[in-house]
Amino acid sequence: MKSPLQFFNTDSKILDLMKKGDEEALVMLYESNRRMVQSYVARNNGTDEDAEDLLQEAVVVIWERVHAGTFEYSAKLSTFIYATVQNMWRRRLARSKRETPTEFLTVNDPEDPISFLDDLVESELSKQIAAALVKLGEPCKTLLLLFYWEECSMEEIAKKMKFANAETAKSKKYQCKKAMEEILVGMGI
């Protein structure tokens, strides 16, 4: 975890607590993402119990990755939680469609090859996107991080990056996004 934590104050605190083994980080992460996960699962035909299970699993994934030293801080923790929950819920739905009544349901198999493969692909994609951001350079890198990861408004971005106004920031974001897309295409992503 060598990324600077300058953008995410709450995330920085949670990750610091996790590194120290303080389980209060789990509670903070769980509580701050509960409503978002419940909303997502409810919109996709799930129950509150499903949402609770998925959120617990996602929080444990972060905890384990932080302690194993494999967690790469490239987006807000809520973004990571949301993407992890989406992937787990889609896998659950796909499994339930494939199962017949005579099959036994295996829950939370830690050696699930699909889960391992998904994690590997997600990790590799994160590394490629981070490399593309480095190639993109400043000010585009900062602008895109502010917009997509910190979810800043164009007004906030204009102020932080000292652009004339929000329209200038919007125009620059468009140019940076196009440049990023070209780099990703060149990398085969």
The predicted structure's pLDDT at residue 158? 92
Q: Helix/strand/coil (H, E, C) string of the chain? A: CCCCCCCCHHHHHHHHHHHCCCCHHHHHHHHHHHHHHHHHHHHCCCCHHHHHHHHHHHHHHHHHHHHHCCCCCCCCHHHHHHHHHHHHHHHHHHHHHHCCCCCCCCCCCCCCHHHHHHHHHHHHHHHHHHHHHHHHCCCHHHHHHHHHHCCCCHHHHHHHHCCCCHHHHHHHHHHHHHHHHHHHHHCCC
Q: Which fold has domain 120-189?
A: Arc Repressor Mutant, subunit A (1.10.10)
pTM of the model: 0.48
pLDDT tens-digit map of 135-184 = 888 888 888 888 877 778 889 899 999 999 989 988 898 898 888 888 88
Report domain 1-108's class: mainly alpha
Each residue's pLDDT, cut to its tens digit, for the chain (189 residues) gives: 444 444 346 888 888 888 888 888 888 888 988 998 888 888 888 898 998 988 888 888 888 888 888 887 777 888 888 888 888 888 888 777 754 444 333 444 444 444 555 555 556 666 777 788 888 888 888 888 888 777 788 898 999 999 999 899 888 988 988 888 888 888 776
Domain ranges of the chain: 1-108, 120-189
